[in-house]
Structure 1
Amino acid sequence: MRKVKWTGVYPAVTTKFKENGDLDIPAFLKNIECQIEAGVNGIIIGGSLGESSTLTHDDRIRLLEATLETFGEQTDVILNIAEGATRTAIELAQKAEKAGAHGFMLLPPMMYKPTDQEVADYFKAVAKSTDLPILLYNNPVDYKIEITLPIFEQLAEMDNIQAVKESTRDISNVTRLKNRFGDRFKILCGVDTLAMEELLMGADGWIAGLVCAFPKETVAIYELVRAGRIEEALKIYRWFLPILELDINPQLVQNIKLAEVMTGIGTEPVRAPRHILVGDERERVIKILEDGLAARPELPDYKNL
């Protein structure tokens, strides 16, 4: 079994579709190839940015199997689980484990506001159903459920719950987790516009969105911070920030897919009910991207720091 390190850059990749809404596996794999060439440490399939709400279990397994077949020896391949029922979450986890997944990203129960104990019990039940490592997704801003420190206290007994995607928008939560649990849980920043700040506060990695269009710049920032070359990282990060802000937007999927098209490593079709960007909003996003591309920084040899 592959050991997932939960450190470095993990793109939450977009799901590529044909114009009719069917999966576009070749386009999906082309983008992942660019991510791996840039030096990412893992791939997360079927997350929010991957249009999770429109994917069936069969879709997820097809994407998982295609990624494993092509890149499974080169990088961590992580499948997102976002379900409304404990039973269906366990079914997907077991199906994906059988297909060869290396680990899971696991959201709290969807479409119901559970109590803290219900959240803890849900996570425990899924963790007990699989031998694979699990990254929890803590995003109370978008999903209205916070994985609190007392919940983490209960989950610390589960050996395969190993990491958290920290998306509370509160940088100090990195310190709270470190103070309470030390290195028990790996912490990966899940908000592009706070990534360098959280890395400097001790986060172990970055689950990134705009990496889908700008993989080299994203990995360069992470590697430069890790090497202590903060000023160089900061220069890239400041250039990147107006683009990274496209990630904290209800249309983040459309924004990032448009960015992938403009950098030549993606396609734009989305699955209904989403529409691609149009009108003034499309022009606003294109202007941000054109300005960024015109000033794209020269990167150091970040793979050999």
Structure 2
Amino acid sequence: MKVEWKGVMPAVTTKFNEDDTLDLIMFAKNIRAQIDAGVHGIVLGGSLGEASTLLAEEKNVLIRETVQLSEGKIPVVMTIAEQATKVAIAAASDAHENGADALMILPPMRYKSTDIETVQYFKDIASSTDLPIMIYNNPVDYKIEVTVDMFEELLELDNITAVKESTRDIINIGRLRNRFGERLSILTGVDPLALESLFMGADGWVAGLVCAFPEETVAIYELAKAGRPKEATEIYRWFLPLLELDISPQLVQNIKLAEVATGIGTETVRKPRLNLSGDERKRVLKVIEEGLKTRPILPDYKSF
């Protein structure tokens, strides 16, 4: 499949049964809801999510299930977040063999690599596969920034063509666009900065709260790209308190509570994560309940 790095791409949560096995029934329900809403791709194994708790075979199962559910309509993107280059290369190979259409790759985990080491890490992985690659640039959470100059080197490889831009510096979208034009696709990765990023020229949105609110997320994107900023902004302002649940160490628990509220997920997490409790649980539920009470009526965004 030819991968177009644009549109809304949910970084979907992993669904678990109470016995800590994969809940493929609820997983399928959520993926179908995303596809029905008009998302443009599915991202598996979110690095700030529960991917680090998954076994390699569990990741392969999720890829195969998503490929089957997507029926070739949208690309399936697997996240590669590993500590060693050879392990990352093996993970990329597994993703390819199990049907993934593209990869989202992070810098080395745990070790704070230098710029030279980071570029070489990406190049080694990209050279091992012909899958299209999106680099995940998130120095806030991972302490390694992929700078504009580093992208100059990385774009020498034909299959590195996109970035998930999560520096939280809106200006960086302009820097990247000014340097590379259309050579580099830019997808925002920060939910509460999504609309601003789209107005700055981002091509798409790797989203979190889309897992619970797929239609609203796609509507914002389509309105923004259709030149209807006022309507997009109105929905986005409603969405902002919910979107802020994505920028938290407990984003997985937050999003899963929202998925329960909209009927397309369960609250179950894999340890060491635990379900939210006490005042924090009350706070998150209040945000979700208020969002549901004031949920906007959407335009026919699929007709744009």
Normalised by the size of structure 1, how large is the TM-score?
0.98
Name the aligned partner's letter for residue 166 of structure 1: E
Give the equivalent residue in structure 2 for 1:73.
Answer: 72
Give the equivalent residue in structure 2 for 1:127.
Answer: 126
Once the 2 structures are TM-superposed, how far is the Cα of residue 168 of structure 1 from its aligned partner?
0.1
Give the equivalent residue in structure 2 for 1:17.
Answer: 16
Give the equivalent residue in structure 2 for 1:7.
Answer: 6
Once the 2 structures are TM-superposed, how far is the Cα of residue 122 of structure 1 from its aligned partner?
0.4
Name the aligned partner's letter for residue 236 of structure 2: Y
Secondary structure of the corresponding residue to residue 182 of structure 1:
helix
Question: Structure 2 unaligned runs (5+)?
Answer: none
Percent of paired sites with the same residue: 63
Give the equivalent residue in structure 2 for 1:188.
Answer: 187
Name the aligned partner's letter for residue 274 of structure 1: R
Q: Which moves more between the two structures, 68-77 or 122-131?
A: 68-77
For 1:73-152, list aligned pairs within 5 A: 73-152=72-151
* Runs of 4+ with deviation above 6 angstroms: none
Give the equivalent residue in structure 1 for 2:235.
Answer: 236
> Equivalents in 1 of 2:55, 2:142: separation in Å?
20
For the 8 Å contact 2:9–2:41, the answer to whether it is kept is yes
Secondary structure of the corresponding residue to residue 35 of structure 1:
helix
Give the equivalent residue in structure 2 for 1:283.
Answer: 282
> Equivalents in 2 of 1:216, 1:241: separation in Å?
15
CA deviation profile, 1:96-126 (whole Å, cap 9, x unmatched): 1111110001000001000100000000000
Give the equivalent residue in structure 1 for 2:297.
Answer: 298
Once the 2 structures are TM-superposed, how far is the Cα of residue 50 of structure 1 from its aligned partner?
4.0
Give the equivalent residue in structure 2 for 1:247.
Answer: 246
What is the total number of aligned residue pairs between the two structures? 304
Give the equivalent residue in structure 1 for 2:173.
Answer: 174
> Equivalents in 1 of 2:116, 2:71: separation in Å?
36
Name the aligned partner's letter for residue 123 of structure 1: F
Secondary structure of the corresponding residue to residue 183 of structure 1:
helix
Name the aligned partner's letter for residue 38 of structure 1: A
> Equivalents in 1 of 2:32, 2:296: separation in Å?
22
Normalised by the size of structure 2, how large is the TM-score?
0.99
For the 8 Å contact 1:14–1:49, the answer to whether it is kept is no
> Equivalents in 2 of 1:230, 1:111: separation in Å?
40
Give the equivalent residue in structure 2 for 1:208.
Answer: 207
For the 8 Å contact 2:32–2:69, the answer to whether it is kept is no
> Equivalents in 2 of 1:285, 1:100: separation in Å?
36
> Equivalents in 2 of 1:296, 1:268: separation in Å?
21
Give the equivalent residue in structure 1 for 2:223.
Answer: 224
> Equivalents in 2 of 1:179, 1:135: separation in Å?
19
> Equivalents in 1 of 2:28, 2:184: separation in Å?
30
Secondary structure of the corresponding residue to residue 182 of structure 2:
coil
Name the aligned partner's letter for residue 280 of structure 1: D
CA deviation profile, 1:44-93 (whole Å, cap 9, x unmatched): 00113541111121111110011112214121100000000000000011
Name the aligned partner's letter for residue 230 of structure 1: P
> Equivalents in 1 of 2:71, 2:128: separation in Å?
23
RMSD across aligned positions (CA): 0.8
CA deviation profile, 1:177-206 (whole Å, cap 9, x unmatched): 011111111000000000000000000000
Question: Structure 1 unaligned runs (5+)?
Answer: none
Once the 2 structures are TM-superposed, how far is the Cα of residue 22 of structure 1 from its aligned partner?
1.2
